[in-house]
Chains A and B, each alone.
Chain A
Amino acid sequence: MSRAPAAPPAVGTELPALRLDVTTTFVVSTALATRDFQDVHHDRAAAVARGSQDIFLNILTTTGLVQRCVTDWAGPGAVVRAVSIRLGVPCYAGDELVLGGRVAEVAAGPDGDEVVVGVVGRCSLGDHVTGTVRVVLP
Protein backbone atom coordinates (compact mmCIF):
# COMPACT_ATOMS: atom_id res chain seq x y z
CA MET A 1 0.00 0.00 0.00
CA SER A 2 1.73 3.15 -1.18
CA ARG A 3 1.27 6.64 0.11
CA ALA A 4 -0.99 9.20 -1.54
CA PRO A 5 1.16 11.49 -3.70
CA ALA A 6 0.08 14.73 -2.08
CA ALA A 7 2.01 16.81 0.43
CA PRO A 8 5.61 15.92 1.29
CA PRO A 9 5.85 13.48 4.19
CA ALA A 10 6.64 14.84 7.63
CA VAL A 11 9.81 13.91 9.42
CA GLY A 12 8.96 11.11 11.81
CA THR A 13 6.34 9.53 9.55
CA GLU A 14 6.30 5.77 10.13
CA LEU A 15 6.18 3.53 7.08
CA PRO A 16 3.95 0.43 7.04
CA ALA A 17 5.88 -2.61 8.34
CA LEU A 18 7.01 -5.16 5.78
CA ARG A 19 6.66 -8.66 7.28
CA LEU A 20 8.43 -11.52 5.55
CA ASP A 21 8.23 -15.21 6.27
CA VAL A 22 11.86 -16.19 5.67
CA THR A 23 11.36 -19.77 4.56
CA THR A 24 14.12 -21.99 3.17
CA THR A 25 12.55 -21.46 -0.25
CA PHE A 26 12.73 -17.68 0.24
CA VAL A 27 16.43 -17.79 1.20
CA VAL A 28 17.33 -20.05 -1.73
CA SER A 29 15.23 -18.34 -4.39
CA THR A 30 16.46 -14.85 -3.46
CA ALA A 31 20.09 -16.01 -3.31
CA LEU A 32 19.81 -17.47 -6.81
CA ALA A 33 17.85 -14.48 -8.15
CA THR A 34 20.72 -12.27 -6.98
CA ARG A 35 23.26 -14.68 -8.55
CA ASP A 36 24.86 -15.41 -5.20
CA PHE A 37 25.91 -19.07 -5.20
CA GLN A 38 27.73 -19.14 -1.85
CA ASP A 39 26.80 -22.47 -0.27
CA VAL A 40 25.73 -20.86 3.04
CA HIS A 41 22.69 -19.46 1.19
CA HIS A 42 21.36 -22.74 -0.23
CA ASP A 43 23.07 -25.77 1.38
CA ARG A 44 22.06 -26.34 4.98
CA ALA A 45 24.71 -28.99 5.70
CA ALA A 46 27.45 -26.68 4.40
CA ALA A 47 26.11 -23.75 6.41
CA VAL A 48 26.07 -25.82 9.60
CA ALA A 49 29.59 -27.10 8.92
CA ARG A 50 30.71 -23.46 8.73
CA GLY A 51 29.26 -22.73 12.15
CA SER A 52 25.83 -21.33 11.20
CA GLN A 53 22.60 -22.74 12.52
CA ASP A 54 21.00 -22.82 9.08
CA ILE A 55 21.18 -21.16 5.66
CA PHE A 56 20.73 -17.39 5.89
CA LEU A 57 19.76 -14.38 3.76
CA ASN A 58 22.50 -12.95 1.54
CA ILE A 59 23.40 -9.27 1.62
CA LEU A 60 22.15 -8.52 -1.90
CA THR A 61 18.69 -9.68 -0.87
CA THR A 62 18.75 -7.67 2.34
CA THR A 63 19.70 -4.58 0.31
CA GLY A 64 16.79 -5.27 -2.05
CA LEU A 65 14.33 -5.75 0.82
CA VAL A 66 15.37 -2.49 2.47
CA GLN A 67 14.74 -0.77 -0.84
CA ARG A 68 11.37 -2.56 -1.19
CA CYS A 69 10.27 -1.45 2.28
CA VAL A 70 10.59 2.16 1.10
CA THR A 71 9.36 1.84 -2.50
CA ASP A 72 6.25 -0.13 -1.38
CA TRP A 73 5.38 3.03 0.53
CA ALA A 74 6.78 5.66 -1.87
CA GLY A 75 5.11 4.24 -4.97
CA PRO A 76 6.31 3.49 -8.51
CA GLY A 77 7.09 7.09 -9.36
CA ALA A 78 9.75 7.38 -6.68
CA VAL A 79 13.39 7.35 -7.77
CA VAL A 80 15.80 5.59 -5.43
CA ARG A 81 19.12 7.48 -5.19
CA ALA A 82 20.91 5.47 -2.53
CA VAL A 83 20.59 2.43 -0.25
CA SER A 84 23.05 2.15 2.60
CA ILE A 85 22.94 -0.75 5.04
CA ARG A 86 24.83 -2.24 7.95
CA LEU A 87 24.28 -5.89 8.75
CA GLY A 88 23.70 -7.17 12.29
CA VAL A 89 22.62 -10.67 13.22
CA PRO A 90 22.05 -13.23 10.49
CA CYS A 91 18.50 -13.92 9.34
CA TYR A 92 18.21 -17.70 9.21
CA ALA A 93 15.70 -19.79 7.30
CA GLY A 94 12.62 -20.33 9.45
CA ASP A 95 12.67 -16.86 10.96
CA GLU A 96 10.41 -13.88 10.40
CA LEU A 97 11.92 -10.59 9.22
CA VAL A 98 10.02 -7.39 9.96
CA LEU A 99 11.24 -4.24 8.24
CA GLY A 100 10.10 -0.84 9.40
CA GLY A 101 10.94 2.66 8.20
CA ARG A 102 10.75 6.18 9.54
CA VAL A 103 11.21 9.42 7.60
CA ALA A 104 14.41 11.03 8.88
CA GLU A 105 14.94 13.98 6.52
CA VAL A 106 12.88 15.85 3.93
CA ALA A 107 14.27 18.52 1.59
CA ALA A 108 12.92 20.13 -1.56
CA GLY A 109 15.04 19.25 -4.61
CA PRO A 110 14.94 20.07 -8.31
CA ASP A 111 13.13 16.81 -9.18
CA GLY A 112 10.84 16.61 -6.15
CA ASP A 113 11.06 16.02 -2.43
CA GLU A 114 14.28 14.32 -1.42
CA VAL A 115 13.48 12.04 1.49
CA VAL A 116 15.82 10.00 3.66
CA VAL A 117 14.16 7.05 5.37
CA GLY A 118 15.81 5.15 8.23
CA VAL A 119 15.06 1.44 7.99
CA VAL A 120 15.47 -1.29 10.58
CA GLY A 121 14.90 -5.00 9.87
CA ARG A 122 14.45 -7.24 12.90
CA CYS A 123 14.34 -11.00 13.22
CA SER A 124 14.17 -13.23 16.29
CA LEU A 125 17.89 -12.82 17.06
CA GLY A 126 17.78 -9.00 17.01
CA ASP A 127 18.52 -6.31 14.43
CA HIS A 128 19.39 -8.00 11.15
CA VAL A 129 19.88 -4.72 9.27
CA THR A 130 19.91 -1.00 9.91
CA GLY A 131 20.18 1.43 7.06
CA THR A 132 18.94 4.42 5.13
CA VAL A 133 17.28 4.84 1.77
CA ARG A 134 17.45 8.15 -0.09
CA VAL A 135 14.56 8.57 -2.48
CA VAL A 136 13.12 11.36 -4.61
CA LEU A 137 9.34 11.59 -4.51
CA PRO A 138 7.60 13.03 -7.59
Chain B
Amino acid sequence: MSAGVAPAPVDAPDAARRIEETARRLVEAGDCAPRPARDPVNEPMINNWTEALGDANPAYPGQAPPAMVQVWTMGGLHGRRAADDPLGAMSAVLDEAGFTSVVATDCAQTYARVLRPGERLAIRSRLTGVAGPKRTALGEGWFVTTVSTWTVDDEPVAEMMFRILKFRPPPPPEPPREVPRPQVNRDTAYFWEGTAVGELRIQRCGGCGALRHPPGPMCPRCGATRPGYVVASGRGEVYSFVVHHHPPLPGRRAPFVVALVELEEGVRVLGELRGVEPGAVRVGLPVEVGLDRIDDELVLPAWRPR
Protein backbone atom coordinates (compact mmCIF):
# COMPACT_ATOMS: atom_id res chain seq x y z
CA MET B 1 0.00 0.00 0.00
CA SER B 2 1.16 3.50 -0.68
CA ALA B 3 1.90 6.03 2.03
CA GLY B 4 -1.03 8.06 3.32
CA VAL B 5 -3.51 5.19 3.32
CA ALA B 6 -5.27 4.68 6.61
CA PRO B 7 -4.08 1.72 8.64
CA ALA B 8 -6.12 -1.41 8.10
CA PRO B 9 -9.10 -1.29 10.43
CA VAL B 10 -9.17 -3.64 13.33
CA ASP B 11 -12.15 -5.94 13.50
CA ALA B 12 -15.08 -3.54 12.94
CA PRO B 13 -17.48 -4.60 15.74
CA ASP B 14 -14.56 -4.65 18.14
CA ALA B 15 -13.50 -1.14 17.06
CA ALA B 16 -17.06 0.14 17.38
CA ARG B 17 -17.31 -1.30 20.88
CA ARG B 18 -14.04 0.33 21.91
CA ILE B 19 -15.15 3.70 20.47
CA GLU B 20 -18.48 3.53 22.29
CA GLU B 21 -16.88 2.48 25.58
CA THR B 22 -14.38 5.34 25.38
CA ALA B 23 -17.19 7.76 24.56
CA ARG B 24 -19.25 6.58 27.55
CA ARG B 25 -16.28 6.93 29.88
CA LEU B 26 -15.46 10.44 28.60
CA VAL B 27 -19.07 11.64 28.77
CA GLU B 28 -19.23 10.44 32.39
CA ALA B 29 -15.92 12.15 33.20
CA GLY B 30 -17.50 15.52 32.32
CA ASP B 31 -15.53 18.75 32.06
CA CYS B 32 -11.76 18.72 31.77
CA ALA B 33 -9.74 21.14 33.90
CA PRO B 34 -9.98 24.77 32.72
CA ARG B 35 -7.16 25.82 30.40
CA PRO B 36 -6.22 29.50 30.47
CA ALA B 37 -5.90 31.54 27.28
CA ARG B 38 -2.34 32.51 26.27
CA ASP B 39 -3.22 36.21 26.20
CA PRO B 40 -5.90 38.36 27.74
CA VAL B 41 -8.51 39.80 25.38
CA ASN B 42 -6.49 42.52 23.65
CA GLU B 43 -6.77 45.21 21.00
CA PRO B 44 -3.90 44.08 18.73
CA MET B 45 -5.39 40.63 18.20
CA ILE B 46 -8.85 42.15 17.71
CA ASN B 47 -7.41 44.52 15.11
CA ASN B 48 -5.66 41.65 13.31
CA TRP B 49 -8.96 39.78 13.23
CA THR B 50 -11.10 42.69 11.99
CA GLU B 51 -8.43 43.61 9.42
CA ALA B 52 -8.27 40.06 8.03
CA LEU B 53 -12.04 39.53 7.97
CA GLY B 54 -12.73 43.05 6.68
CA ASP B 55 -15.05 43.80 9.58
CA ALA B 56 -15.38 47.59 9.99
CA ASN B 57 -17.77 47.49 12.97
CA PRO B 58 -16.78 50.55 15.08
CA ALA B 59 -17.73 48.69 18.28
CA TYR B 60 -14.35 46.93 17.88
CA PRO B 61 -11.69 46.92 19.32
CA GLY B 62 -13.27 48.56 22.38
CA GLN B 63 -15.10 45.26 22.70
CA ALA B 64 -14.14 41.93 21.22
CA PRO B 65 -16.11 40.52 18.30
CA PRO B 66 -18.28 37.84 19.95
CA ALA B 67 -17.47 35.26 17.26
CA MET B 68 -13.80 35.73 18.13
CA VAL B 69 -14.26 33.99 21.48
CA GLN B 70 -12.69 30.72 20.30
CA VAL B 71 -9.60 32.56 19.06
CA TRP B 72 -8.49 33.50 22.58
CA THR B 73 -8.05 29.88 23.63
CA MET B 74 -6.71 28.34 20.42
CA GLY B 75 -3.74 26.05 21.04
CA GLY B 76 -1.44 28.00 18.74
CA LEU B 77 1.33 26.94 16.40
CA HIS B 78 2.88 24.39 18.77
CA GLY B 79 -0.21 23.62 20.79
CA ARG B 80 -0.66 20.26 22.45
CA ARG B 81 -3.88 18.97 23.88
CA ALA B 82 -4.01 18.52 27.63
CA ALA B 83 -4.04 14.90 28.81
CA ASP B 84 -7.62 15.23 30.05
CA ASP B 85 -8.88 16.96 26.90
CA PRO B 86 -11.86 14.80 25.87
CA LEU B 87 -11.56 15.51 22.13
CA GLY B 88 -7.92 14.46 22.18
CA ALA B 89 -8.69 11.17 23.94
CA MET B 90 -11.63 10.44 21.65
CA SER B 91 -9.65 11.28 18.51
CA ALA B 92 -6.84 8.93 19.52
CA VAL B 93 -9.23 5.96 19.71
CA LEU B 94 -10.84 6.90 16.39
CA ASP B 95 -7.42 7.33 14.74
CA GLU B 96 -6.49 3.85 15.91
CA ALA B 97 -9.65 2.44 14.30
CA GLY B 98 -8.70 4.03 10.97
CA PHE B 99 -10.91 7.16 11.17
CA THR B 100 -7.90 9.39 10.71
CA SER B 101 -9.28 12.38 8.84
CA VAL B 102 -11.21 15.20 10.44
CA VAL B 103 -13.58 17.91 9.31
CA ALA B 104 -15.58 20.37 11.40
CA THR B 105 -19.30 20.22 10.64
CA ASP B 106 -21.20 22.30 13.20
CA CYS B 107 -20.45 25.15 15.56
CA ALA B 108 -23.04 26.83 17.77
CA GLN B 109 -21.83 29.63 20.03
CA THR B 110 -23.84 31.60 22.59
CA TYR B 111 -22.51 34.71 24.25
CA ALA B 112 -23.64 35.67 27.76
CA ARG B 113 -22.05 39.09 27.57
CA VAL B 114 -19.62 41.30 25.68
CA LEU B 115 -15.89 40.78 26.33
CA ARG B 116 -13.50 43.69 26.62
CA PRO B 117 -9.71 44.06 26.40
CA GLY B 118 -7.96 42.99 29.58
CA GLU B 119 -10.26 40.11 30.46
CA ARG B 120 -8.60 36.73 30.93
CA LEU B 121 -10.47 33.73 29.57
CA ALA B 122 -10.22 30.06 30.36
CA ILE B 123 -11.87 27.18 28.54
CA ARG B 124 -13.11 23.83 29.71
CA SER B 125 -14.67 21.13 27.54
CA ARG B 126 -16.71 18.00 27.86
CA LEU B 127 -17.69 15.30 25.44
CA THR B 128 -21.45 15.10 24.97
CA GLY B 129 -21.86 12.46 22.29
CA VAL B 130 -20.31 10.21 19.68
CA ALA B 131 -22.51 8.86 16.88
CA GLY B 132 -21.58 6.35 14.23
CA PRO B 133 -20.43 4.67 12.18
CA LYS B 134 -22.25 6.73 9.53
CA ARG B 135 -21.84 6.78 5.78
CA THR B 136 -21.10 10.31 4.59
CA ALA B 137 -20.05 11.89 1.32
CA LEU B 138 -16.49 11.96 2.65
CA GLY B 139 -16.42 8.34 3.77
CA GLU B 140 -17.47 6.26 6.76
CA GLY B 141 -17.10 8.16 10.01
CA TRP B 142 -18.16 9.13 13.51
CA PHE B 143 -19.60 12.47 14.61
CA VAL B 144 -17.98 13.70 17.82
CA THR B 145 -19.72 16.48 19.76
CA THR B 146 -18.18 18.55 22.53
CA VAL B 147 -19.48 21.44 24.59
CA SER B 148 -17.00 24.06 25.74
CA THR B 149 -17.51 26.81 28.28
CA TRP B 150 -15.46 29.98 28.50
CA THR B 151 -15.12 31.67 31.86
CA VAL B 152 -13.67 34.87 33.21
CA ASP B 153 -12.65 34.06 36.76
CA ASP B 154 -15.50 31.66 37.46
CA GLU B 155 -18.17 33.47 35.49
CA PRO B 156 -19.34 31.64 32.34
CA VAL B 157 -19.25 34.17 29.49
CA ALA B 158 -19.77 32.00 26.41
CA GLU B 159 -20.56 28.44 25.42
CA MET B 160 -19.98 26.45 22.25
CA MET B 161 -21.27 23.19 20.84
CA PHE B 162 -18.67 21.92 18.36
CA ARG B 163 -19.11 18.88 16.17
CA ILE B 164 -16.53 17.20 14.02
CA LEU B 165 -16.63 14.24 11.69
CA LYS B 166 -13.77 11.78 12.13
CA PHE B 167 -13.77 9.73 8.95
CA ARG B 168 -11.85 7.03 7.17
CA PRO B 169 -10.34 8.61 4.04
CA PRO B 170 -11.23 6.65 0.93
CA PRO B 171 -8.20 4.92 -0.62
CA PRO B 172 -6.53 6.95 -3.35
CA PRO B 173 -7.34 5.73 -6.85
CA GLU B 174 -4.85 3.23 -8.30
CA PRO B 175 -2.35 5.08 -10.46
CA PRO B 176 -2.67 4.12 -14.13
CA ARG B 177 -0.24 1.37 -15.13
CA GLU B 178 2.11 2.33 -17.89
CA VAL B 179 2.63 -0.71 -20.10
CA PRO B 180 3.81 -0.99 -23.68
CA ARG B 181 0.62 -0.91 -25.76
CA PRO B 182 -0.09 -3.18 -28.71
CA GLN B 183 -0.36 -1.81 -32.22
CA VAL B 184 -4.00 -2.48 -33.09
CA ASN B 185 -4.75 -2.70 -36.81
CA ARG B 186 -7.30 -4.32 -39.13
CA ASP B 187 -5.54 -7.67 -38.80
CA THR B 188 -5.41 -7.66 -34.99
CA ALA B 189 -8.47 -5.65 -33.88
CA TYR B 190 -10.60 -8.80 -33.39
CA PHE B 191 -8.02 -10.14 -30.90
CA TRP B 192 -8.07 -7.02 -28.64
CA GLU B 193 -11.83 -6.65 -28.97
CA GLY B 194 -11.95 -10.26 -27.71
CA THR B 195 -9.80 -9.69 -24.62
CA ALA B 196 -11.93 -6.65 -23.79
CA VAL B 197 -14.99 -8.92 -23.49
CA GLY B 198 -13.14 -11.78 -21.83
CA GLU B 199 -12.47 -13.94 -24.88
CA LEU B 200 -9.25 -15.36 -26.24
CA ARG B 201 -9.83 -15.27 -30.01
CA ILE B 202 -7.81 -17.23 -32.57
CA GLN B 203 -7.75 -16.35 -36.22
CA ARG B 204 -9.38 -18.91 -38.55
CA CYS B 205 -9.02 -18.88 -42.29
CA GLY B 206 -12.31 -18.11 -44.05
CA GLY B 207 -11.19 -20.37 -46.92
CA CYS B 208 -9.74 -23.61 -45.51
CA GLY B 209 -10.59 -23.18 -41.80
CA ALA B 210 -6.98 -23.43 -40.57
CA LEU B 211 -6.25 -21.75 -37.22
CA ARG B 212 -3.28 -19.41 -37.01
CA HIS B 213 -1.60 -17.07 -34.54
CA PRO B 214 -0.23 -14.42 -34.59
CA PRO B 215 -2.77 -12.92 -36.95
CA GLY B 216 -2.03 -11.92 -40.50
CA PRO B 217 -3.95 -10.86 -43.62
CA MET B 218 -3.40 -14.06 -45.64
CA CYS B 219 -3.66 -17.76 -44.83
CA PRO B 220 -0.19 -19.34 -45.10
CA ARG B 221 -1.84 -22.66 -46.08
CA CYS B 222 -4.38 -21.78 -48.80
CA GLY B 223 -3.66 -18.11 -49.49
CA ALA B 224 -7.20 -16.92 -48.77
CA THR B 225 -7.58 -13.36 -47.47
CA ARG B 226 -10.87 -13.78 -45.66
CA PRO B 227 -9.87 -14.29 -42.01
CA GLY B 228 -12.44 -14.94 -39.26
CA TYR B 229 -11.88 -16.18 -35.72
CA VAL B 230 -12.90 -18.76 -33.13
CA VAL B 231 -12.99 -18.34 -29.36
CA ALA B 232 -10.37 -20.59 -27.78
CA SER B 233 -11.02 -22.64 -24.64
CA GLY B 234 -8.18 -20.74 -23.01
CA ARG B 235 -6.48 -23.95 -21.82
CA GLY B 236 -3.04 -25.10 -22.86
CA GLU B 237 0.48 -26.05 -21.77
CA VAL B 238 3.72 -24.17 -21.56
CA TYR B 239 5.57 -24.88 -24.79
CA SER B 240 8.53 -22.63 -24.03
CA PHE B 241 9.31 -19.75 -21.69
CA VAL B 242 11.84 -17.13 -20.67
CA VAL B 243 12.39 -15.47 -17.31
CA HIS B 244 12.87 -11.75 -17.92
CA HIS B 245 15.40 -10.11 -15.56
CA HIS B 246 16.69 -7.17 -17.56
CA PRO B 247 16.19 -4.56 -18.96
CA PRO B 248 13.46 -3.00 -16.80
CA LEU B 249 10.09 -2.69 -18.52
CA PRO B 250 7.31 -0.26 -17.66
CA GLY B 251 4.44 -1.85 -15.75
CA ARG B 252 6.38 -5.01 -14.89
CA ARG B 253 8.48 -5.97 -11.90
CA ALA B 254 11.41 -8.25 -12.80
CA PRO B 255 11.87 -11.14 -12.71
CA PHE B 256 8.72 -12.19 -14.56
CA VAL B 257 7.91 -15.07 -16.88
CA VAL B 258 6.89 -14.81 -20.53
CA ALA B 259 5.44 -18.10 -21.77
CA LEU B 260 4.66 -19.41 -25.22
CA VAL B 261 1.61 -21.56 -24.59
CA GLU B 262 0.34 -24.24 -26.92
CA LEU B 263 -3.44 -24.11 -26.78
CA GLU B 264 -5.72 -27.14 -26.91
CA GLU B 265 -6.68 -25.87 -30.36
CA GLY B 266 -3.06 -26.36 -31.49
CA VAL B 267 -1.81 -22.79 -31.96
CA ARG B 268 0.75 -21.09 -29.74
CA VAL B 269 0.14 -17.74 -28.02
CA LEU B 270 2.57 -15.56 -26.04
CA GLY B 271 1.74 -13.94 -22.73
CA GLU B 272 2.97 -13.22 -19.24
CA LEU B 273 2.70 -16.22 -16.91
CA ARG B 274 1.61 -15.07 -13.46
CA GLY B 275 0.89 -16.78 -10.17
CA VAL B 276 3.91 -19.06 -10.20
CA GLU B 277 7.51 -18.56 -9.07
CA PRO B 278 9.88 -18.24 -12.04
CA GLY B 279 11.94 -21.17 -10.70
CA ALA B 280 8.87 -23.46 -10.67
CA VAL B 281 7.93 -23.00 -14.31
CA ARG B 282 8.56 -26.00 -16.58
CA VAL B 283 7.71 -26.98 -20.10
CA GLY B 284 4.40 -28.83 -20.12
CA LEU B 285 2.95 -26.91 -17.17
CA PRO B 286 -0.85 -26.83 -17.59
CA VAL B 287 -2.09 -23.21 -17.78
CA GLU B 288 -5.20 -21.27 -18.59
CA VAL B 289 -5.77 -17.75 -19.78
CA GLY B 290 -6.57 -14.95 -17.38
CA LEU B 291 -7.16 -11.35 -18.29
CA ASP B 292 -5.08 -8.44 -17.03
CA ARG B 293 -7.19 -5.29 -17.21
CA ILE B 294 -4.78 -2.38 -17.64
CA ASP B 295 -7.37 0.39 -18.08
CA ASP B 296 -10.68 1.05 -19.81
CA GLU B 297 -9.16 0.51 -23.23
CA LEU B 298 -6.70 -2.33 -22.86
CA VAL B 299 -6.96 -5.88 -21.53
CA LEU B 300 -3.91 -8.08 -21.95
CA PRO B 301 -4.15 -11.87 -21.92
CA ALA B 302 -1.98 -13.49 -19.26
CA TRP B 303 -1.44 -17.10 -18.26
CA ARG B 304 -1.88 -18.69 -14.87
CA PRO B 305 -1.39 -22.28 -13.70
CA ARG B 306 -4.49 -24.48 -13.66
Contact = CB atoms under 8 A, between A and B. Distances in A.
Interface of A: 20, 26, 29-30, 32-37, 49-51, 59-61, 63-68, 71-72, 76-77, 79-87
B71 A82 contact: no
Interface in B16-72: 45, 48-49, 51-59, 65-68, 70-71
Contacts of A20: 54
9 contacts: A33-B48, A34-B74, A49-B4, A60-B70, A60-B74, A80-B67, A85-B106, A85-B108, A86-B106
Contacts, number: 95
A79 B57 contact: no
Contacts of A79: 114
A64 B109 contact: no
Interface of B: 4, 45, 48-49, 51-59, 65-68, 70-71, 74, 76-77, 101, 103-111, 114, 169
Given A64-B68, A83-B66, A76 B57 contact: yes
A114 to B, nearest CB: 13
A67 B67 contact: yes
A31 to B, nearest CB: 9
Contacts of B67: 60, 63-64, 66-67, 80, 83
A82 B108 contact: yes
Nearest to B79: A37
A67 B104 CA distance: 18
A76 B55 contact: no
A52 to B, nearest CB: 10
Nearest to A58: B104
A64 B49 contact: yes
Contacts of B76: 35, 37
Contact of A64 (B58, B65, B110, B111): B65
Given A81-B110, A84-B108, A67 B66 contact: yes
